[in-house]
Amino acid sequence: MTFDIGPTAADGAGSAPGGGTILLLGAGRMGGAMLRGWLAQGVPASAIAVADPSPAPDLVELAARTGVRLNPASGAPVDTLVVAVKPQMVESAAAGVQTMLAPHTLALSIMAGKTLADLRRLFPAAGSVVRAMPNLPAAVGRGATVAVAEAGCPADRKERAASLLTAVGSLEWLADEALVDAATALSGSGPAYVFYLVECLTRAGVEVGLPADVSERLARATVEGAGALMGATGQPAAELRAGVTSPGGTTAAGLSKLMADDHLQSLLNATLRAAAQRAAELGGTGPKA
């Protein structure tokens, strides 16, 4: 059985984002979010196949409903291979897709830590490789992604990568691959820091007397609303903060604790350093755990 998912970009296939055939290797939280974004942006389901040995029930349902191929037998090369497995899994996952790589194939990775050199070693027959780092808000079309292409990557391959990445949010191309681990620490991992802030605000609300359920609703709505306001106005964060802070008021009293001695800044500096360091460790053949 061949891996028959329609015409290839080399055949002049499709004007949909991404164009040509796509194999998504790993469709968990991030891969699944990207898949949903592509479908929402009009990438034909018939052009997409997913390889995942343990697909979640909602992914199985999505594939059945849309016609995305789930775990078809391997065969003919694809135009774009999107690598969305855990970095610790990629050595074994890569072995199964070697026959789907050809000079017209773009290997687009979203794995933390794995470098362009790693990708070149893992997918030697792919014509081009691009390393990207999206984040989980891609699930609602609000991802923030950075990407870097290997030297000499043709413009049309970068455009193909860009169309798949911008289907789920914003994209910044980085000229220096060394910055990807830093961006991973900030925007890749960043949503978790924000969710933790909501958890902490909830507990702090309880500490000052609010019922837990009220506190959680208020904490969530505050972070959602502040983010939406920042997005809608485009104003600098410091300006927006000043707008909340009446001289001698409650916010100034609260911030006098939050901003004291730059504790939070130091903590975030250490947080990003640790995350970037971990990204660096995940590169190469990487640790197993």
Ligand X SMILES: NC(=O)C1=CN([C@@H]2O[C@H](COP(=O)(O)OP(=O)(O)OC[C@H]3O[C@@H](n4cnc5c(N)ncnc54)[C@H](O)[C@@H]3O)[C@@H](O)[C@H]2O)C=CC1
Ligand Y SMILES: O=C(O)[C@@H]1CCC=N1
Q: Match 């891996």 to its residue by tokens.
A: 3
Residue nearest to ligand Y according to CB distances in the complex: 188
Q: Number of residues in contact with ligand Y, rule: CB under 6 A? A: 4
Q: Which is nearer to ligand Y, 64 or 195 (CB)?
A: 195
From ligand Y, ligand X, none, interface partner of 92 (C-beta below 5 to 8 A by class): ligand X
Q: Which stretch binds ligand Y (CB under 6 A): 1-9, 50-58, 143-151, 182-190?
A: 182-190
Closest contact distance (angstroms) between CB of 188 and ligand Y is 3
Given the complex with ligand Y, which of 22 and 112 has the nearer CB atom? Answer: 112
Smallest gap from Cβ 87 to ligand Y, in A, equals 8
Closer of 189 and 202 to ligand Y (Cβ): 189
Q: Which residues pair with 127 in a beta bridge?
A: none
Compare residues 32 and 188 and give the one whose CB is closer to ligand Y: 188
For binding to ligand X (CB under 6 A), which residues are involved? 25-31, 51-54, 84-87, 89, 92-93, 110-112, 133-136, 188
Cβ 25 to ligand X shortest distance, Å: 5
Tell the smallest beta-carbon distance from residue 15 to ligand X (Å).
28
| Of positions 80, 189, 202, 215, contacts ligand Y by CB under 6 A | 189
Q: 263 vs 208, 255, 259, 281, CA distance in Å? A: 22, 12, 7, 27
Residue 216: CA count within 13 A, CB half-sphere:
4
Choose, by CB under 6 A, the member of 184, 216, 219, 272 that binds ligand Y: 184
Long-range (24+ apart) CB contacts under 8 A made by 210-215 are none
For tokens 């808000």, name the residue.
137
Nearer to ligand X, 145 or 202 (CB): 145
Residue pair 41/34 in contact (Cβ under 8 Å)? The answer is: no
Q: How far is the CB of 118 from ligand Y (least distance, A)?
A: 15
Partners of 171 in beta bridges: 145
- Amino acid in the structure at residue 181: D
Q: How far is CA 19 from CA 6, 133, 237, 273, in A?
A: 11, 21, 38, 38
We find the least distance from the C-beta atom of residue 115 to ligand Y, in angstroms, to be 14
Q: Is residue 112 near ligand Y by the rule CB under 6 A?
A: yes
Q: Which does 26 bind (CB under 5 to 8 A by kind): ligand Y, ligand X, none?
A: ligand X
Q: Cα angle vertex 237, ends 234, 239, to 5°?
A: 90
Q: Which residues pair with 130 in a beta bridge?
A: 108, 149
Q: Give CA–CA dist 141/40, Å, rounded.
A: 9
Nearer to ligand Y, 184 or 215 (CB): 184
Rounded Cα distance between 203 and 198, Å, is 9
Residue 187 interacts with ligand Y (CB under 6 A): yes or no: no
Residue from 35, 32, 125, 20 nearest 78 by CA = 20
14 vs 131 by CB, closer to ligand X: 131
